[in-house]
């Protein structure tokens, strides 16, 4: 059998192209901003994770230019060998201080961070326990480890306890959860997770890719939001959202970080973060620390859009984050709505299985602190007009009230 047969038999993408509903790989012809030029036309960008809007901040762009001149374009080696710059060490020190942890390890991407952290910490005979709506990189990190993965239904604390009860007393256990869930925008029940972890002797890891810069004191993330910084053992985060760059990090105790540095294959055998990227992340961190009002503004504009959508009678999941899901349920209908919004000047992300469960498709709106009320008003009017032509009643098997 030809190993490529699966490729030749894969018809979904071409079928969607033939229907003119393929929503991916749209060409961006301008900077990542609140308004963009995409495929030759102006679109209000409601599909970016550039939460603090820092990708266009002049001093951050200037820092990247200065760093290119000083350090060149790349490191050409892993952190373990010739790829450690003073810039990496500086960021790790400052981020550790910001997050109130002893140490930080940086990875080349956010996805790689979860691969590297989980595969290093979860060994043979250990257990890793995951929320079913965790990010794909967490799942792949679990697969790369030699431990056993157990899952519980989304934010179901009774389910989590049942899984913890399956862990032998002689085995180690790591509970891994998104802090802010990337599709629904809701926040993990971290107080109960930490309580159960303490009761059953487990450790807690929070993926704060969508929490840093979004919630918590000065944007410190989910543990800070709940006042539980001393009870979360490992934070993971990414540069590609609030930090306006590319890379990822782990924050933990010095002993745990040292172990990961010499045990994590995704860390040891990957080239280090390029100089300009680490410099931009550091400058973005400085901006967060010096201007916490940007985080407040993100909360303000997010609340504004939620209120405007609700005024129009549009069903959304209520939360305190800039991720606002608009439920569309059916895959084809979701793609049709996304296309109409795009043609009318609003870019949002169509979210389909496996990113969500079948029958729970949605349009994922995400906001930036730099959006204006006028842009939101324009976008909401377009969204409401497009949605008015569709029947968006939830399927009978979905209890919408449980999503609120």
The residue from 88, 101, 241, 308 that is catalytic is: 241
Return d(Cα 110, Cα 116) in angstroms, integer: 10
Catalytic residue chosen out of the listed positions 88, 101, 135, 210: 210
Whether 339 sits among the annotated catalytic residues: the reply is no
Given 113, 182, 224, 272, the catalytic residue: 182
3-state per-residue secondary structure call for the chain: CCCCHHHHCCCHHHHHHHCCCCCCCCCECCCCCCEEEECCEEEEECECCCCCCHHHCHHHHHHHHHHHHHHCCCCCCECCCCCCCHHHHHHHHHHHHHHCCCEEEEECCHHHHHHHHHHHHCCCCCEEEEECCCCHHHHHHHHHCCCEEEEECCCCHHHHHHHHCCCCCCCCEEEEEECECCCCCCECCHHHHHHHHHHHCCEEEEECCCCCCCCCHHHCCHHHHHCCCCCCCEEEEECCCCCCCCCEEEEECHHHHHHHHCCCHHHHCCECCCHHHHHHHHHHHHHHHHCCHHHHHHHHHHHHHHHHHHHCCCCECCCCCCEEEEEEECHHHHHHHHHHHHHCCEECEEECCCCCCCCCEEEEEECCCCCCHHHHHHHHHHHHHHHCCCCCCCCCCCCHHHHC
The dihedral formed by the CA atoms of 365, 369, 373 and 375, expressed in degrees to the nearest 10: -60
Between CA 46 and CA 51 the distance in angstroms is 10
Contact 181, 317 (CB under 8 A): no
210 is catalytic: yes
CA atoms within 13 A on the CB side of 386: 26
- Per the annotation, the verdict on 241 as an active-site residue is yes
Enzyme catalytic residues: 182, 210, 241
């Amino acid at each position: 059998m030809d190993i490529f047969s699966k490729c030749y038999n894969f018809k979904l993408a071409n079928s969607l192209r033939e229907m003119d509903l393929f929503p991916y790989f749209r060409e961006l012809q301008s900077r990542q901003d609140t308004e963009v030029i995409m495929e030759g036309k102006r679109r209000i960008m409601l599909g970016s994770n550039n939460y603090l809007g820092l990708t266009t901040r002049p001093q951050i762009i200037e820092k990247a230019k200065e760093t290119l001149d000083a350090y060149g374009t790349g490191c050409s080696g892993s952190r373990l060998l010739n790829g450690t710059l003073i810039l990496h060490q500086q960021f790790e020190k400052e981020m550790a201080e910001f997050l109130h942890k002893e140490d930080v390890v940086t990875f080349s991407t956010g996805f790689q961070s979860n691969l590297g952290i989980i595969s290093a910490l979860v060994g043979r005979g250990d257990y890793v326990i995951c929320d079913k709506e965790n990010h794909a990189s967490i799942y792949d990190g679990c697969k790369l480890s030699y431990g056993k993965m157990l899952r519980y239904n989304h934010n179901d604390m009774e389910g989590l306890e049942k899984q913890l009860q399956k862990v032998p007393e002689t085995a180690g256990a790591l509970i891994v959860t998104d802090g802010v869930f990337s599709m629904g925008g809701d926040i993990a029940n971290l107080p109960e997770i930490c309580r159960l972890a303490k009761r059953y002797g487990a450790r807690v890891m929070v993926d704060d890719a969508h929490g840093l810069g979004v919630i918590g004191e000065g944007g410190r993330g989910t543990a800070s939001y709940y006042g539980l910084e001393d009870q979360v053992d490992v934070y993971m985060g990414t540069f590609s959202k609030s930090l306006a760059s590319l890379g990822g990090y782990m924050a933990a105790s010095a002993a745990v970080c040292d172990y990961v540095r010499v045990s994590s294959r995704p860390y040891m055998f990957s080239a280090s973060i390029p100089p300009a990227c680490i410099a931009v992340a550091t400058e973005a961190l400085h901006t967060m620390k010096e201007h916490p009002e940007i985080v407040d503004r993100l909360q303000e504009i997010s609340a504004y859009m939620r209120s405007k959508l609700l005024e129009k009678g549009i069903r959304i999941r209520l939360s305190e984050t800039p991720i606002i899901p608009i439920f569309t349920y059916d895959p084809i209908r979701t793609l049709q709505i996304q296309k109409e919004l795009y043609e009318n000047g609003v870019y949002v992300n169509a979210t389909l299985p496996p990113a969500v469960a079948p029958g729970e498709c949605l349009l994922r709106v995400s906001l930036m602190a730099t959006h204006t009320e006028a842009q939101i008003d324009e976008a909401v009017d377009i969204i409401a007009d497009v949605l008015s032509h569709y029947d968006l009643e939830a399927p009978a098997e979905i209890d919408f009230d449980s999503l609120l």
